[in-house]
Each structure stands twice: as C-alpha cells, then as structure tokens.
Amino acid sequence: MTSILTPTPANLTTAAEALLRSRVVAIPTETVYGLAGVAFDEVALATIFTVKERPTFDPLIVHVPTPPGDADVHLAELGLLDPSLLGPKARERLNTLAKAYWPGPLTLVVPRGPRVPDLVTSGLDTVAIRCPGHPVAQELLATVKRPLAAPSANRFGRISPTTAAHVLEELGGRIDIILDGGPAHVGIESTVVSVTDPPQILRPGSISKESLETTLSESLAIAKPNATLKPQASPGMLERHYAPGKRFVRLPAPTSSLTDEAVQRLQTLVEGVEGPIALICVLGDARAAATHLRELTGRDVLAHSLSPSGDPNEAARNLFRTLRLLDSTGAALLVAEPLPAATGVLLAIVDRLSRATVPL
C-alpha cells in the first residue's frame, strides 16, 4: 500500500527511518518529485532502478544538504568528489556555481569520489550532485544525514511527476511512502552542468545558459541529446523521453501556414484515429490555432496553452501537468504547435517537448 504523507516532523522521521532501512521514498523537490534512496546503499539503489523500470545505464543524481562553506571541501568530505581529479578551473566553477545557485535547480557533474557506488553513476567516472531548494527535501536530508540518490519519480521514459498524486499514478503499489510537498514550483528538471573542461550543459533546465555564462564569465556548450539507447557520455539525454502514452506529433509550421503536404500528412494521421484532437501551445492564446486545426481536420480540438499570458516560468510549471492531463483525456491524438526559438527556460521546455513528440 502506498501512503501520501504530509511532511509533519513525525512523518519526516518515518520517511527517514524507512530510508535508513534501505527503502525508497518519493520526495518533493522544487523541480519534479524524486524517488529517493540512500546514495551509499546498494540495496536502495537497486530498488530505485527496479521500481522505475529504469535501465542501469542511466545514472542518478545525488542530493545533498546546502554546503556550509566551499562545495568542493564539503563534497570531498562526504566522499562524493575526488578533489585530486578536479583541476583548478573546474574547482572554481564548482564553487562559484554552488555558491550562486544552491540550494536550487542546478545539478553539477564532478569527478566521482570513493564512496559513490557504480549504480549511482552507471560506471562513469563522474557523479551528478544537486542541493535541492525545497524545504521538505532539505529537512529530510538533515534528518537522514546521508546523501540521497533521487531520479524523477516516474516509470522510465514517462512524464515526470510534479505533484504527489502524479507519483501515485506512476508508482502506486510499488513504494510505501510519498511525502507531499505540494505542486513543484519549477516544474521541469534541474539544469545539468559538467564543470570539468570543457564546461557544458548536459541537460537544459530552468537555470538558463545565459545566467550560468554570466555567473562564470565564460561560455558553455550544450550537449546534443543521444539518439540511441546505449551507454554514452551524457546518459539519460535520450531523444525519446517524457512521452505520453498517445501519439504526440509536433507541427512543422503554425496551423495557419502548414503546406499542403503537411496538411495531407495530418489528415492521414487523423483518419487513423477516432475522437477529438488535443492541441498544445507553449506561449500565448491557443484558440486561433485550435480553430485552424478544427477546420483542417474536421475534428473537435481541445486547446491548451502552457501560459496564455506568455510567461515562460509559468509554462515550465504547467508542462508536465498538461501533458499528463492531455494523456488522460479522450483525445485520440496530441499535436504541438511549432516550438519557439528558445532562450532561457524556454530552451528547457523545447528540449522536453521535442523529446516527448515526433515530427509530423
């Protein structure tokens, strides 16, 4: 039986005791809900992979409390970081970024320390570390007094959960405890940055490339998503991910300016299914696009904008919730308007949407 627990001191103690008995617990963070286990406990780590049905080549992020001083010293003391493999530039990047953004939605990839099990890193010689900003995650870390490995609390390849109810949908019956910290405030996974040379963004998130570059006074490359399911330099960045159960296509142009050929492809797709179409727009009013789509297909169209007022942070917060909602409606086909040219948090939204969709 899976219980959703409010984060009272007594329930936090119950969750911490479960973690210390090698159990896994779903926890709120400001990005998405995580499925946590003690990072040094191989039984707990193996359980995370089984519960999520996650392939072991996809490494986990280790969550730590806010470092009291320089991050490199703290992480080395915990046995998470090997400081001898951190060059002076990388050390400076780690400490600067940790100081600027922790606690918060930024994951830093560093040379792996001696206490980190292979299961955490998928055998890589680096480890990903984050200090979550959600007060419940921080309180739990303080109670357990161990780093917690926590990937998103969804089955592999599916939509990340941003509420306790989503976790229940994903993992109900498979875990005992979900700590309920309310809806995730950021709503999209952390930005992942490798601090060793050359520094790069391995996964875009709500902390933008522009902001990181300003903080570091240097430019960052963005790693390309991986096309295939095999071990590689930036595991987990798979081309197909975050996917709803239904067919989800992205349009090559706005509904008002599709070529005849694209309209033909769309109509063929629609003929193959029954029922209404769900349309998702990232920013702005979705109604005009819905009207066009209705005219082109002759089907009812349920239109959803991630932020009708055009606020990218609101769009990030609504992304996974909306995908989950559309997946559960009667819509036979999901369609995304073309993704905007992206900077800032929009880059992360476009990244997730392009991996949740296939081109028309």
Peptide bond into 254 cis (omega under 30): no
152 binds Mg ion (CB under 5 A): yes
Binding partner of residue 67 among ligand AMP, Mg ion, none, CB cut-off 5 to 8 Å per kind: none
* Closest approach of Mg ion to the CB of residue 20, in Å: 25
Question: Looking at 29, 47, 95, 152, which residue binds ligand AMP (CB under 6 A)?
Answer: 152
Residue 196 phi, psi dihedral angles, 5° rounding = -80, 160
- Candidate ranges 45-53, 144-152, 169-177, 212-220; the one touching Mg ion (CB under 5 A): 144-152
Q: Which of residues 221-250 bind ligand AMP (CB under 6 A)?
A: 234-237
Q: Please state, as a whole number, how many other Cβ atoms lie within 10 Å of the Cβ of residue 84.
A: 7
Do residues 190 and 205 touch, judged by C-beta distance below 8 A? yes
Q: Does 126 bind ligand AMP (CB under 6 A)?
A: yes
22-45 burial: b if 16+ Cβ within 10 Å, else e: ebbbbbbbbbbbbbbbbbbbeebb
Closer CB to Mg ion, 150 or 302, in the complex: 150
> Smaller CB distance to ligand AMP: residue 95 or 234?
234
Strand spans (E) along the chain:
3-5, 25-27, 34-38, 61-63, 106-111, 126-130, 148-149, 177-179, 191-194, 200-203, 221-222, 248-250, 277-283, 301-307, 333-336, 358-359
For residue 18 the two structure tokens come to 């479960």
Find all residues with CB under 8 Å of 344, minimum gap 6, and list them. Answer: 208, 210, 211, 312
Residue 303 near which of Mg ion, ligand AMP, none (CB within 5-8 Å, type-dependent): none
Q: Which does 192 bind (CB under 5 to 8 A by kind): ligand AMP, Mg ion, none?
A: ligand AMP
Rg (C-alpha) for the chain, rounded Å, is: 21
Contact partner, 82, from Mg ion, ligand AMP, none, Cβ < 5-8 Å per class:
none
* 151 counts as binding ligand AMP under rule CB under 6 A: yes
Regarding 189 and contact with ligand AMP (CB under 6 A), the answer is yes
CB nearer ligand AMP, residue 80 or residue 290: 80
The CB-of-194 to ligand AMP minimum distance in angstroms stands at 6
Residues 41-60 that bind ligand AMP (CB under 6 A): 58-59
Q: Pick from 295, 353, 344, 291: which is nearest to 326 by CA?
A: 353
Binding residues for ligand AMP, per CB under 6 A?
Answer: 58-59, 61, 109, 121, 124, 126-128, 151-152, 189, 192, 202-203, 234-237
Binding residues for Mg ion, per CB under 5 A?
Answer: 152
